[in-house]
Amino acid sequence: MIYKHGRPDNVPEIVSALEDCATHVSAWCAAKRLQLNAEKTEVLWFGTAANLRKISPDVSSIRVGSTVVTPTTVVRNLGVMLDAELSMREHVSRTAQSCFYHLRRPCSVRRQLGRDVTARLVSAFVL
């Protein structure tokens, strides 16, 4: 993860610094016989809604090698979904969706398990 902070009017300088950093990371990877996968690289601008509106879409893209990476609204880092305003809405939504999926899975076998075993199974999932 590479990050740089600044005001919305300093976006061109921030983009230039991030591109230089990505070039250095790519050179380091090449020296270690590794390859930076630019297709999997994601860019996310963090800030308040008002500051994010001030960033022009044509200046916010970052070049990594020969690939131009356009900003996204949500990225995943270490299993956590981060959005531009750090509200965690997407992460909470996906976690709740996954929980409901796993809680509904025993429905297909509850007749074979019986009421008590199914209740214990659901309690184990919740705990």
What tens digit of pLDDT does each residue of 32-69 get? 999 888 888 888 888 888 888 888 777 778 888 888 88
For residues 43 and 71, the answer to whether their CB atoms sit within 8 Å is: yes
Locus of tokens 């305003």? 85
The percentage of the chain sitting over the pLDDT mark of 70, rounded to a whole number, equals: 100
Same domain (yes/no): 36, 72: yes
Measured CA to CA, the distance from residue 74 to residue 3 in angstroms comes to 15
Same domain (yes/no): 71, 94: no
Same domain (yes/no): 21, 78: yes
pLDDT value of position 80: 86
Same domain (yes/no): 66, 9: yes
Measured CA to CA, the distance from residue 13 to residue 82 in angstroms comes to 24
Give the mean pLDDT of the chain. Answer: 85
| pLDDT tops 80 at residue 27 | yes
